[in-house]
Amino acid sequence: MLVTFAALVPTALAAWLLWQVVSSPGDGEPPKVLPAPGQSSTSAPGSTDDAKKPTPSASTSSASPSPAKSASEKPTGSGSSKPAAGGSGPLKGKVVVIDPGHNPGNFRHATEINRTVNVGNGSKECDTTGTATNAGYTEAQFTLDVARRMKTLLEQQGATVRLTQNGDRAWGPCVDERARIGNAAKADAVVSVHADGSAAGNRGFHVILPASVHAGDADTRAIVASSRDLGERVAGKFLRYTSEPPSNYVGGGTALDTRSDLGGLNLSTVPKVFIECGNMRDSHDAGRLTSGSWRQKAAQGISEGIVSFLRG
């Protein structure tokens, strides 16, 4: 019986992925993305997150989407983007925080972002520069663009939406402050938007879920289950809207990865996940990540995952 079951697992997973790709975005609720039986999900060497540290090239720095502020300017402690009042719609009364990973100005503020902050079970750099495509399109530009598109889509559904930064601060916020912004807003859902910087040939997206952490200032035990629900729904919708495949180098084909080393997750007291939308160092993925029309699909997929989670 065990041999028969093992033989059926790859076939069932392949059939599920095919169904997701060919189904249209409006065909009801997608099945959740579930780990393969008996498999634990761990990070592969080279995967990146709030510890990304490549320094953008000169062509990268000149492509910053917003004017740089003075090096003496200090970031505010309350987060940058004030939430717009929620309108009418199915998400009226719901609060969503979108966390665009990194900041286009981080590379100008090495001292500030390299200082360490407490993440509960250890310490990490305040923030990093993030990664970039080989042509110099930065992760910080990508995440901010997708986050702004998501904000528009979710506000149209009636949600109150806040960004942890909206290109309106010189650097940061630090990873611990990013978590505090979602906590202070009493957010019903938080998604941190990223793109990976792994080796060429590594393709696909994955969603990072918080592990159960209870150390120092971190206690994720109350949000592990709800964050997994959020992450599974985001993964399913993202796949459906973008046709980006689940990562072939993290998560064993499940599109899910559980981690205990990310301050943005460890210090959250509300449901929160990260999404790595693709690998900026792979030419195929980079072609998608640099496309405005594809970024709109990415924003729609993530937003619809949030909507699905909030509506239950």
Pairwise CA distance, residues 61 & 50, whole Å: 20
Residue 69 in tokens = 């502020």
Does 12 have pLDDT greater than 90? no
Residues carrying an active site annotation: 276
Q: How confident is the model at residue 40 (pLDDT cuts 50, 70, 90)?
A: very low
Domains of the chain by residue range = 44-62+78-311
Q: What pLDDT, on the 0 to 100 scale, is given for residue 17?
A: 44
Instruction: Tell me what percent of the residues of the chain surpass a pLDDT of 90.
Output: 71
Which region among 2-6, 118-122, 252-256 has the lowest average model confidence (pLDDT)? Answer: 2-6
Q: What pLDDT, on the 0 to 100 scale, is given for residue 19?
A: 45
More confident residue, 64 or 188: 188
Q: What pLDDT, on the 0 to 100 scale, is given for residue 88?
A: 80
Strands 189-196 and 95-100: parallel
Q: Looking at residue 246, what DSSP letter applies? A: B
Neighbours of 65 (CB within 10 A): 12
Does 127 have pLDDT greater than 90? yes
DSSP string, 72-131: TPPPPSS-S-PPPPP-SSTTTT-EEEEEE-S-TTGGG-HHHHHSEEE-SSSEEES-----
Pairwise CA distance, residues 108 & 157, whole Å: 37
Q: How confident is the model at residue 123 (pLDDT cuts 50, 70, 90)?
A: very high
pLDDT digits (tens, 9 = 90+) for 262-278: 999 999 999 999 999 99
CB 143 within 8 A of CB 101: yes
Q: How confident is the model at residue 84 (pLDDT cuts 50, 70, 90)?
A: low
DSSP tally for the chain: helices H, then strands E: 9, 10
Domain 44-62+78-311 fold: Aminopeptidase (3.40.630)
pLDDT digits (tens, 9 = 90+) for 198-240: 999 999 999 999 999 999 999 999 999 999 999 999 999 999 9
pTM (whole model) above 0.95 = no
Tell me the average pLDDT across 115-125.
96
Residue 227, φ and ψ in degrees, nearest 5: -70, -40
Q: What pLDDT, on the 0 to 100 scale, is given for residue 54?
A: 44
Does 11 have pLDDT greater than 80? no
Q: What pLDDT, on the 0 to 100 scale, is given for residue 44?
A: 39
What amino acid is encoded at 233 in this protein? R
Pairwise CA distance, residues 22 & 243, whole Å: 9
Mean residue pLDDT of the chain comes to 82
Helix locations, 185-273, DSSP H:
224-242, 263-266
